Copies of this chain bind each other. A is one copy, B any other.
Amino acid sequence: MRWLRYSLGTRTAYGILEGERVLDVRGDPFAGYEKTGQIHALSDVKIELPVVPGTFYEVGFNYPEHVREIAAKQGIEPNLPTQPDVGYRANSGLIAHGEAIVVPRDATDAIQYEGELVAVVGRTAKGLSEEDALSCLLGFTIGNDVSERSWQKSDKTLWRAKNTDTFAPMGPWIETGVGDLDELVTTVRVNGEVSSQFPTNAMLFGVAKFLSKITRYITLRPGDVLWMGTDGTSPNLSHGDVVDVEISGIGVLTNPIVKL
C-alpha cells in the first residue's frame, strides 16, 4: 500500500495511491482514516512531503564502501563505526518530490547527492527488541541527503553542509509493503544516466538494529523518520541537473538542482 500526501487547491490530505489514482482519505495513516470516496489522477495533484516528522533521525556512516571512499578522498584511514549511533537533522531542510534543490551563491561546486532508505515510524515505541523492531514502522520512503562537501569539512557540525533550506528532499510516498529489505536496490541517476547503484540493505547496522538501540533510551513517535545513510560517492552536481533516487519496490524521488 502506498500513502501519498498531496495537495489540490488549498487542501492538503493523505491519499492511497493505486496505480495512477489517488483515493482521498479523511484522517491519516498514523491516527486512523476513512476513505472519502473522492478519487484524483496522480497527475492532477501536487505531491507533498509524505510526513513532517516530530524527530528527524539520520545515520551518518552506515555503508563500508562509503566510509572507505570518503576516507580515501580525505587521505585518512577509514574509521568504521563499531556501534549504531544515530544523529539528528532539521525539518527546515525538507522538500517534496519535484521541488528544486536550491544551492546558495557561496556554496562551492562540491554539491553531491546521497540516496537513502527512510524508515517511517507508525506507532509510539520504546524498548523494542531487534526481532520486533520493524513492527513499529508504517513503511519506507526515500531521501536525498544533499551535501556541500567543503562545509562538511570546515564546520564543526553538519548544520550548513546538510541542512541548508531544500537540502533534504524526501518522498515521493510511503510504501507499507516493502517485504524483504535484502532484495531492494538503490539506483541514483543524474539526467537519466545511472551514477550510483548499490544493494539498499548492505548496511553496517540495519534498520532493526538502530530502532532497537534507539528505543532503549528514546521513545519513538508516529511520524518520526530515520534516514539510513548511503553507499558510494556522488559526482558534483550542476545547475539544471535532475537527480532521481530510486529504490526498487518503493518508487523514484526526483528533484532538479538550481544554483543561485
Which residues on A are within 8 Å of B, measured CB to CB? 54-55, 57, 60, 81, 83, 85-93, 104, 126, 155-157, 159-160, 163-165, 214, 216-221, 224
Contact = CB atoms under 8 A, between A and B. Distances in A.
A138 to B, nearest CB: 17
B164 A218 contact: yes
Contacts of A224: 92
B218 A163 contact: yes
Contact of A55 (B86, B90, B126, B164): B90
A224 B163 CA distance: 15
A217 B164 contact: yes
Given A165-B218, A218-B163, A218-B164, A92 B55 contact: yes
A219 B165 contact: yes
Nearest to A85: B156
Contact of A157 (B85, B218, B219): B85
Contacts of A164: 217-218
B54 A218 contact: no
6 contacts: A54-B91, A92-B218, A92-B219, A93-B218, A126-B165, A165-B218
Contacts of A85: 155-157, 159-160
State how many copies of this chain the complex holds.
2
B90 A157 contact: no
Instruction: Name the residue among A90, A91, A220 with the largest chain B CB count within 10 angstroms.
Output: A90
B104 A217 contact: yes
Contact of A83 (B57, B90, B92, B155): B155
A165 B221 CA distance: 12
Given A165-B218, A219-B165, A157 B83 contact: no
Nearest to A220: B92
A81 B156 contact: yes
Contacts of A165: 126, 217-219
B88 A89 contact: yes
B218 A88 contact: no
A221 B91 CA distance: 10
A180 to B, nearest CB: 28
Nearest to A93: B218
Contact of A217 (B91, B160, B219): B160
Contacts of A104: 216-217
Contacts of A159: 85-88, 214, 217-218
Nearest to A107: B217
